[in-house]
Amino acid sequence: MNGDGDTAGPSVRRLSEWNADDLRALAAEYGTPLYVDDLERVRANHARLAGAFPDAEVLFAVKANAGRHVLRALRDAGAGAECASAGELARALDAGFAAGEIHYTAVNPPAEDLDYAVDVAAAHPALTVTAGARDTVERLAERGFAGRFCLRVHPGVGAGHSESVSTGKDAKFGVPADEASEVLNTAADHGFDVVGLHAHAGSGITNDQLDDHERVVSTLADVARETTHNLEFVDVGGGFGVPYRESEDPLDLAAVAERTRDALTDVDATLTIEPGRYLVADAGVLLTEVNTVKRVSGSVIAGADAGMTTLVRPAMYGSYHPIRSLADDDRATEEVSVVGPVCESTDVLGEARALPAPERGDLLAVGNAGAYGVEMASNYNSRPRPAVVALDDGPELVRRRETLADVTHAEDTAHTYPDP
């Protein structure tokens, strides 16, 4: 089953398919830089994924896009929430997710985060708390935790779009597989209700990395078969990739689902998956305006009002995002590098892109910006973060643009001594 159809729509939405007139109108009304999230596409992506995994529990990885509008759309579509921090847990609850629909899966959680999660679990016993280290198990016990417990396993195999996100082979994540049974027993001895196992290969898994994904699931299945605990679920993580480059094919979900099920043969537990990027990446674009054009030594540089503080993935991971000019006149095409306003050489949204010859005032759209875009935006260079508009019945401003006063608010409200 490939999931394509009237409900789920095409398996990939290319940047060229966004309506240029609509995007120009949004930029004119709300300014730039501007993130635009299409909630209909978010729901379609969820329907396609749920269709490929009909018997699985689908938890949205909140770190991909924690906007309340996105969380509520996915909650209403039937998804649960996977939260990697106390803040994400608070936002999931605020968005209306029931505690039984939430997994808290923090890595090396700070004390304040763990305190909050244990308090939530005490008030809402249906919450599932995942730990990936022996110390975290002991820290939970010290806080009197006695709720639903899941163990994160380190499979030693990773995959993803970058070594930076290939978490499955990073020892930071999870308990080694050969120690998992012992740690599960320790958790049970502390009075935890052992309900599940978890592992994750990485972020942005592609069709040519399915062997690695299956090896991760197989490792998790071996632990599940070995344990004497009655597991409710086996959580194989997410990381389902999307095609960022125009030439890339979409992920073969049917193949991913088949190989996942094959690896879990004879495991008597519900399959849980944690997609993030797959649900929201191609549902979002970033709009930015060209304010400076340089032609130097044969190079064409378009300076825009969005940069690495708005979308950090190109600078951090070397990630590719498609870029489209929304200029409505017919110009010759040039190789253009689109750069931002930050005082860093890495502040580049795209290099040597075939675009109409840029002019000041041109509007550019950056594709696949719905995942890890606004979530990773920062105030570096003391720049206010951008606004976000959601498209559903009509456009709605769901996050206002920050002001300079917002940038200094934490300092302005932190005074403990009288001004001199």
Three-class secondary structure assignment of 154-219: ECCCCCCCCHHHCHHHCCCCCEEHHHHHHHHHHHHHCCCEEEEEECCCCCCECHHHHHHHHHHHHH
How many whole angstroms separate alpha carbon 311 and alpha carbon 305? 11
pLDDT score for 206: 78
- Evaluate whether 304 touches 363 at the Cβ level (below 8 Å): no
Asked about 150 being catalytic, the answer comes back as no
* Cα–Cα distance list, 107 to 135, 194, 364 (Å): 11, 18, 37
DSSP per position, 156-173: S---SSSGGG-GGG-TTS
pLDDT score for 297: 87
Q: List, as residue ranges, the binding site for pyridoxal 5'-phosphate.
A: 239, 274-277, 372
| Local structure of 55: helix, strand or coil | coil
Q: What angle do CA 316, 317, 322 make, to 5 degrees?
A: 105
pLDDT score for 405: 96
pLDDT score for 157: 54
- Evaluate whether 104 touches 129 at the Cβ level (below 8 Å): yes
Q: List, as residue ranges, the binding site for substrate.
A: 277, 313, 317, 344, 372
Evaluate the omega torsion of the peptide bond into residue 250 and state whether it is cis, within 30 degrees of 0: no
- Chunked in runs of 10, what are the mean pLDDT values of the chain (420 residues)? 47 95 98 98 97 96 98 98 98 98 96 98 98 97 98 70 42 86 97 95 73 87 94 93 92 91 92 96 98 94 98 96 92 96 97 97 98 98 98 97 96 72
**Which residues, 6 or more positions from 79, have their beta carbon under 8 angstroms from its beta carbon?**
46, 58, 59, 60, 101, 279
- Evaluate whether 307 touches 339 at the Cβ level (below 8 Å): yes
Query: Which of 111, 296, 332, 343 is flagged as catalytic?
Result: 343
pLDDT digits (tens, 9 = 90+) for 149-179: 999 998 875 443 434 333 444 477 789 999 9
Supply φ then ψ for residue 220, to 5 degrees: -65, -40
> Phi/psi zone of residue 35: left (φ > 0), alpha (ψ -120 to 50 degrees), beta?
beta
How many whole angstroms separate alpha carbon 84 and alpha carbon 238? 13
Which domains does the chain carry? 105-275 (3.20.20.10), 282-410 (2.40.37.10)
pLDDT digits (tens, 9 = 90+) for 62-99: 999 999 999 999 999 999 999 999 999 999 999 999 99
- Evaluate whether 45 touches 73 at the Cβ level (below 8 Å): no
For residue 376, what is the DSSP state? G
Q: List, as residue ranges, the binding site.
A: 239, 274-277, 313, 317, 344, 372
